[in-house]
């Protein structure tokens, strides 16, 4: 991808749950090589927005395109095949699988094979299996998780599980990466290395969206910030612009 090229574009997304409007006409672009932060108060619609982009939820209105392909009505595994990977606010790992195996499953998202169908992986050949193991080891190393490769993924701390999910997402070689509160459960040093990882993924041309509350992290990691409030866009700007915007301070940063 050429740096700066729009990889994912969303137009006028809306999602209602019964009488609750969780997302109300949100448009955004994520460009190759940028880290876009999404911030806003609890309940602002951040997770719902990511679920709409990833195909985990179908919008009531609006559209999502990845590389110009309309993915709006696609299921999550179909969207994943268009090179979108994501992590969840609450980690979503398999029962009884070690960390290395969990991460290797991410490679199945590259193809058209669905997430659920691939939960018991049947690998084509020994060579493929070796390649997968090498790719999983590389991703684990990138997240600093190599020493945990043999551990049961579900036995890890929240912060570690969230990092395992990022490694699993990276193994799929995504062009778009969506992270829902990846700093939860991380200490200061782990946050700093995650921040460096996001910056380097950006330099490699990935389009990264990260939901995060930690403003120090957002200021250091993000190129642009999209502020949501009550399901709508309050402001989009550079970290500096957003941090000094009076409406943003009143709605979110001041509290
Ligand atoms: P955020 O991630 O910004 O904290 P969410 O997207 O999780 O916000 O939630 C936005 C609003 O939608 C909240 O009022 C929440 O209670 C509601 N909501 C989210 N998911 C559901 C759901 N599956 N069913 C009903 N209401 C939901
Ligand atoms: Mg959320």
CATH of the domain at 207: 3.40.50.300
Give CA–CA dist 196/202, Å, rounded: 10
What whole-number distance in Å separates Cα of residue 205 and Cα of residue 203? 5
pLDDT attached to residue 122: 54
Name the residue of 43, 182, 230, 232 whose CB sits within 8 Å of the most ligand 1 atoms, as the mutation to test its pocket.
Answer: 43
> Taking the model in full, what pTM does it have?
0.93
Beta carbons of 9 and 64 less than 8 angstroms apart: yes
* Ion ligand 2 residues within 5 Å by Cβ: 46-47, 89
Spacing, Cα 57 to ligand 2 middle (Å): 14
CB 30 within 8 A of CB 207: yes
Task: Measure the CA–CA gap between 226 and 248, rounded to whole angstroms.
Answer: 10
Number of domains in the chain: 1
- Give the per-residue pLDDT at 129: 77
Arithmetic mean of pLDDT, 145-160: 95
Model confidence pLDDT, tens digit, residues 46-70: 999 999 999 999 999 999 999 999 9
CA-wise closest residue to 169 among 191, 128, 198: 198
Phi/psi for 139 (5° steps) reads: -65, -40
Looking at residue 191, what is its pLDDT?
95
- What is the per-residue pLDDT across 92-146, written as a single tens digit (0 to 9) for each? 898 899 999 999 988 876 654 444 444 445 556 777 778 888 899 999 999 999 9
pLDDT reported for residue 253: 87
* 125 compared with 226, residue with greater pLDDT: 226
Question: What's the DSSP call for residue 193?
Answer: H
177, 86 contact by CB (below 8 A): yes
The C-alpha atoms of residue 61 and residue 225 are separated, in whole angstroms, by 23
Would 92 be classed as within a structural domain?
A: yes
For residue 36, give the nearest of 8, 1, 78, 58 by alpha carbon: 8
Neighbours of 158 (CB within 10 A): 12
Residue 222 has pLDDT above 70, yes or no: yes
108 in a domain, yes or no? yes
Mean pLDDT of 235-252: 95
| Residue 1 is assigned to a structural domain of this protein | no
197 within some domain? yes
CA–CA gap between residue 52 and residue 57 (Å, rounded): 5
Tens of pLDDT, residue by residue over 12-37, are: 999 999 999 999 999 999 999 999 99
d(CA 202, CA 84): 15
Q: Domain range for residue 162?
A: 6-253
The residue contributing the CA closest to ligand 1 atom 17 is: 22
Mean of all residue pLDDT scores within the chain: 92
Residues with CB under 6 A from ligand 1: 17, 20, 22, 40, 42-48
Question: Is 148 inside a domain boundary?
Answer: yes
């Amino acid at each position: 991808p050429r740096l700066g090229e729009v990889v994912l574009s969303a137009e006028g997304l809306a999602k209602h749950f019964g009488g609750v409007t969780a997302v109300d006409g949100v448009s955004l672009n994520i460009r190759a090589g940028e880290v876009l932060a999404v911030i806003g108060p609890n309940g602002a619609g951040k997770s719902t927005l990511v679920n709409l982009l990833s195909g985990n939820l179908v919008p009531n209105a609006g559209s999502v395109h990845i590389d110009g392909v309309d993915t709006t009505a696609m299921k999550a595994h179909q969207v994943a095949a268009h090179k979108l990977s994501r992590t969840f606010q609450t980690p979503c790992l398999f029962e009884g699988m070690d960390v290395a195996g969990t991460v290797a499953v991410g490679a199945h998202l590259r193809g058209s094979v669905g997430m659920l169908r691939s939960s018991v992986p049947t690998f084509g050949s020994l060579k493929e299996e070796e390649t997968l193991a090498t790719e999983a080891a590389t991703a684990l190393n990138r997240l600093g998780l190599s020493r945990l490769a043999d551990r049961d993924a579900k036995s890890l701390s929240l912060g570690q599980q969230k990092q395992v999910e990022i490694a699993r997402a990276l193994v799929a070689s995504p062009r778009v990466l969506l992270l829902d509160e990846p700093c939860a459960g991380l200490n200061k040093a782990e946050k700093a290395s995650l921040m460096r990882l996001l910056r380097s993924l950006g330099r490699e041309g990935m389009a990264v969206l990260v939901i995060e509350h930690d403003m120090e992290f957002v200021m250091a990691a993000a190129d642009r910030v999209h502020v949501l409030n009550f399901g709508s866009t309050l402001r989009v700007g550079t970290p500096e612009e957003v941090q000094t915007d009076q409406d943003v301070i009143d709605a979110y940063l001041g509290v």
